[in-house]
Structure 1
Amino acid sequence: MLGGPGIAGLLLTILLLGLLCPKLANAENILAVFSYTFGSSYLLITPYLRNLVQRGHHVTLISAVTIMPTIEGVHHIRVPKLDMLMEALLEYDYDVHNTKWTEAQFVSEYFYNCSKFVLEDPGVQQLLHNASAQYSLIILEAAHNDALFGFSQHFNAPLVGIAAYGSSWNIDFLVGNSAPSVYEPMSALGYSPGHSLMEKWHNLIFITEERLVERFIYLPGQIDLYKKHFPGLTASIHDLRRRFSLILINQHFSMGRVRSNVPNIVEVAGMHLDEAPHTLDAELKKILDEAEQGVIYFSMGLQVVDNWLPPDMRATMSEVFAQLKLQVIWKSDHPAMVNQSSNVISRTWFPQREILNHPNVKLFITHAGLLSLIEAVHYAVPVLCIPLFYDQFQNTKRMEKLGVARTVDYTNLSRDEIVLVIEDLVYNASYKQNVRDLSQRFHDQPMSAMKTAIWWTEYILRHKGADHMRIAEQEMSLMQYYNVDVVSVLFGRIGLSAIIVIFLGWKLVSLATRNLEYRLNVPIVR
């Protein structure tokens, strides 16, 4: 029996691989639909989908063309019009003084086009009309693209959502979460921390306005798209919105956003850190290594273009940096227009994570986007925030409360004030110590964010949607979800009692008045 031991060894190896890699026996077909046009969002989902492929799953991905990189092993369905939408967005003259209502109209139209371009794409239409196409799971963006929820009903597959910008009241609603959503608006314009009674009333009105915006401005267009492209489905879009098996939230409680989440909301902040960072080129490495006074890294993010910034911001920041002894690395769309000082280097792109990881970096000046702040915490770098819109204001307040950041108002940038703030952040040791402590708490987790995301995704697959994870409130009516029935009973009794007391008091006063008139025989003016 020549070769017998070799064959036996091979069989043993295959058996061990089978035991250690059960993924090969549990491979599932997964459809991922992402109508993102912003590059930062793809930074989050690219490593997530890559890990699903490495686990043996068969992934079909509907996405933009140029922004979403090609993932080996993924069947890509590209939607060119999403890239055209991004180009138009970059040319949009964003007004930082927009009201919440004008922003809502803009956002509604933008996400309507995102859903529309996906559903009208020939490749997507071919998939929808392919009778042999079967999927065990649908993964998509959790908010603002409700028409795309129809993929779940069409393929009879559970929904997993990705909330790239953290949670808010509309995310809570999708999973029946009873956490106090009044503290989590979608837009932060005019929103307050909510400490006083009047502020809480103001915020309640604020959230109510957002609900009206969603109901009457945002949802109608999504409903029309859903009915047009999924005509044979019996479930309404309102039913589908409450069928999420799992939502992965890009946040973590250690970063000051503590919430009482239901089981099918899982925090996975830092999931994008699973991707290997870009390396430093020789010039950049030399600048960082030789910066004896330290380095400031200044970037307003991937999705904020210079023409969206206040017109005097570039000049003001150039004046600020000229007064500093620290080396400045400045990401800008127009490097030639900002590179005025010997201590400033500017390019259109930098390997942000590798820069923040360098020991000579003393400060990160940022728009306070969620991914940027997660990276600042991960690498323990103090932050100067210049928030512009949406979640950036709330992100900034949390970082300030944690003692790792300060902020300046983009509408009133003062050179001298910014210099003083930078010097405080760089030379006051408390900020560095606080961010080190915060970074340690952030890293102290039983599993990495990516392993957590993959484990719970496969949990949904193993349990065919895991209906047992969804809270009973998810099946309740709107009146029950907001405890209106309880409130009605409580205030109904109190209100009825008050009406009876007022009525009896009025009758007693009227009776007493008539008696007095009768005795005095003088009419009393009421």
Structure 2
Amino acid sequence: MWRIYSFSVFLLIIVFSTCCSSVNETVFVNTDKTKFKILSIFGYLGKSHFDVFKPLLEELAYRGHEITVISYFPRTKNAKMKKPLPNYKDIDLVDPKIGVYVNKIDLQQISHSFRPFNELFLLKSLADVACNVTLRNPAIKELLRSDEKFDVILTENFNTDCFLGFIHHFKTPYLTVSSHQITPWTNEDMGNEDNPSYIPNIFLGLTRPMNFLNRMKNTMTVLFFKAFYEYWIRPDDQVIANKVFGPDLPKLKKIAQQSSALLVNIHSSLHGSRPQLPNVVEIGGIHIPSKINPLPKDIVEFLDSAHDGALLLSLGSMIKATTMPQKKLDAIMKVLTSIPRKVIWKWEVDDLPHKMDNVMTRKWLPQFDVMNHPNIKCYLGHGGLLGVSEAVYVGLPMILIPIYGDQFHNAAAVKTRGTAVELSFNDLSEQSLRHALDACFNNTSYRENAQRLSKAYRDRPATPLETAVWWTEYVARGNGNPYLRSEGADLPWYQYHLIDVALVLITVSTALIYIFFRLIKLLLSSLLSAVKGKAGSQAGKKSKKKD
């Protein structure tokens, strides 16, 4: 009897513990198991932009949703063999005459004079190419002529709104995805807080906290960039979109303001805490795989023998490292040859100009897998967000040489966290690189800060991929726009910033102050007249007495 009683109590404890555990556990799942038809649009030709969200697209297909992907990066035969996804349909945009943006940046042509403004003009030219080439593709015209219906649309938020015509054409709720920190015009479209007094602009690369001059620069740049996008980029987008989607297409800005959610490849541990709307969702590191793949045998043997530690050197998918100016390349090779470390370097041709026994080069590297090798102690990169996010996740100290775009912003973010040394490309020399390598390998504070940042970056209620999938399904179920959209997105700038309220208050206050002083003046004048009258009457009485 006692054994039966004890066993019953034990079972009750197990059941109670399980219930408590399930109550406290955060689970992101699609509870109704509905399968949705999803259209995703990635009209930009940059590979890194697509690579961020490729895991999301494949995961949606893996969960049974029917997904159509418009992009320049269709699934390869190898990927299809490894992971067949029959409900994943590619609309391939690749034009052999144009190609895609891989190894495109020529370091010989890099100039950082008036950099933010030059890059804004570059974004405009890239937007023109993306809109004209993508929207005139025969496959796009065929899709628009079809009677397809979709439950939700995913589209990239970057440098153009011309693809928002798909939203109007299919009359479908949509959410946008951003591979980088939110741009000024996107914050305005969403009605999201973008206070330049403490939120650095993505184009400047300012460290936090900002001093007075940086806050002034930040404020003026944000205002200029918003105006530039609104009055130059958007009108051209509108013309192109109207030709494709018809003259009844609403203003693209109006469509942009209807986004149900914005999924952003950032995390507050890295880029800093800031107020966000509930439908602006951080999914930083969504591209980072859940498991580490085995490295090729030759790379394993090379890194295993790096008893004093190894350096990973990679300038990403866009920058062509072989275009490095000769003087800077000589300085880099001289320093790398002299250090007692192994170096593994992403280099686009078979051989370096000079053979170095401690350096291994590869045209392509499985970057995240290499970073996870225990002998990799430092990452030298360009500040691209994918590489920076991977290094933060692993807990690696960094040396960053930003070249263009948001790389300056990302480098400033990790520099603020004390995990990276930032070098100027213009000032790159043997001395500056040697000093940076010494700090990265030998200053323990960088590794300690990197490990702390990694812990905070990883610690979340759900993985970035689970979060992104849940939000996509949430919007597809019809729960997005009516409940989450900020009314601030509808306000003109003077109402959003309370300029009208301030003017009324200033006018009323000025009027009240004027009236108050007029009353005081009248009161003083009356008192003065009364005093003078009294004094005059007293003087008259005195003169009569003397007479």
What TM-score, normalized by structure 1, do the two folds share? 0.85
- From 291, 294, 299, the counterpart of 2:314: 299
Q: Structure 1 residues 444, 149: CA separation in 2 closer, same or farther (over 3 Å shift)?
A: same
Is 1:75 the counterpart of 2:83 in the alignment? no
Identity %: 24
Is 1:54 the counterpart of 2:62 in the alignment? yes
Residue identity opposite 2:487 in structure 1: A
Query: C-alpha deviations, 1:103-151, integer Å up to 9, x for none?
Result: 3222211111102212111111111111x21111110111222011111
Q: Structure 1 residues 287, 500: CA separation in 2 closer, same or farther (over 3 Å shift)?
A: farther
CA shift for structure 1 position 55: 1.7
Is 1:468 the counterpart of 2:483 in the alignment? yes
Cross-structure match for 2:43 = 35
Alpha-carbon distance in structure 1 between the residues aligned to 2:160 and 2:103: 17
CA shift for structure 1 position 181: 4.8
Cross-structure match for 1:417 = 432
Is 1:213 the counterpart of 2:228 in the alignment? yes
Higher deviation after alignment, 175-184 or 355-364: 175-184
Residue identity opposite 1:78 in structure 2: D
Alpha-carbon distance in structure 1 between the residues aligned to 2:96 and 2:177: 19
SS at match of 1:346: strand
Alpha-carbon distance in structure 2 between the residues aligned to 1:78 and 1:250: 24
SS at match of 2:494: helix
Residue identity opposite 2:152 in structure 1: L
Cross-structure match for 1:442 = 457
Query: C-alpha deviations, 1:249-305, integer Å up to 9, x for none?
Result: 000111142110001100001111136555311110001111111100001111111
Q: For the aligned residues, what is the CA RMSD?
A: 2.9
Residue identity opposite 2:144 in structure 1: L
Map 1:240-279; keep pairs closer than 5 Å.
240-274=255-289, 278-279=293-294
Alpha-carbon distance in structure 2 between the residues aligned to 1:495 and 1:308: 63
Residue identity opposite 2:134 in structure 1: V
For the 8 Å contact 2:178–2:264, the answer to whether it is kept is yes
Cross-structure match for 2:466 = 451
Residue identity opposite 2:41 in structure 1: V
Query: C-alpha deviations, 1:6-48, integer Å up to 9, x for none?
Result: xxxxxxxxxxxxxx99678511111100013222222211110
For the 8 Å contact 2:234–2:252, the answer to whether it is kept is no
Higher deviation after alignment, 220-229 or 374-383: 220-229
Map 1:64-463; keep pairs closer than 5 Å.
64-65=72-73, 72=85, 73-81=87-95, 84=98, 86=100, 90=104, 94-99=109-114, 100-130=116-146, 132-181=147-196, 183-188=199-204, 195-274=210-289, 278-306=293-321, 309-338=324-353, 340-463=355-478
Higher deviation after alignment, 414-423 or 304-313: 304-313
Map 1:494-509; keep pairs closer than 5 Å.
none
Alpha-carbon distance in structure 2 between the residues aligned to 1:200 and 1:501: 38
Cross-structure match for 1:523 = none
Higher deviation after alignment, 349-358 or 212-221: 212-221
SS at match of 2:307: coil
SS at match of 2:181: coil
What is the total number of aligned residue pairs between the two structures? 483
For the 8 Å contact 2:102–2:318, the answer to whether it is kept is no
Find the structure with the greater CA-based Rg. 2
CA shift for structure 1 position 331: 0.8
Q: Structure 1 residues 313, 498: CA separation in 2 closer, same or farther (over 3 Å shift)?
A: farther
Alpha-carbon distance in structure 1 between the residues aligned to 2:162 and 2:514: 47
For the 8 Å contact 1:301–1:367, the answer to whether it is kept is yes
Q: Provide structure 2 residue ranges, at least 5 long, that are not aligned to the other structure.
A: 1-27, 519-547
Query: C-alpha deviations, 1:185-215, integer Å up to 9, x for none?
Result: 34227x6757333432232212222123213
Residue identity opposite 2:36 in structure 1: E
Query: C-alpha deviations, 1:334-384, integer Å up to 9, x for none?
Result: 352355321111121111111100111110001111111110011111001
For the 8 Å contact 2:184–2:225, the answer to whether it is kept is no
CA shift for structure 1 position 466: 3.6
For the 8 Å contact 2:207–2:415, the answer to whether it is kept is no
Alpha-carbon distance in structure 2 between the residues aligned to 1:447 and 1:48: 14
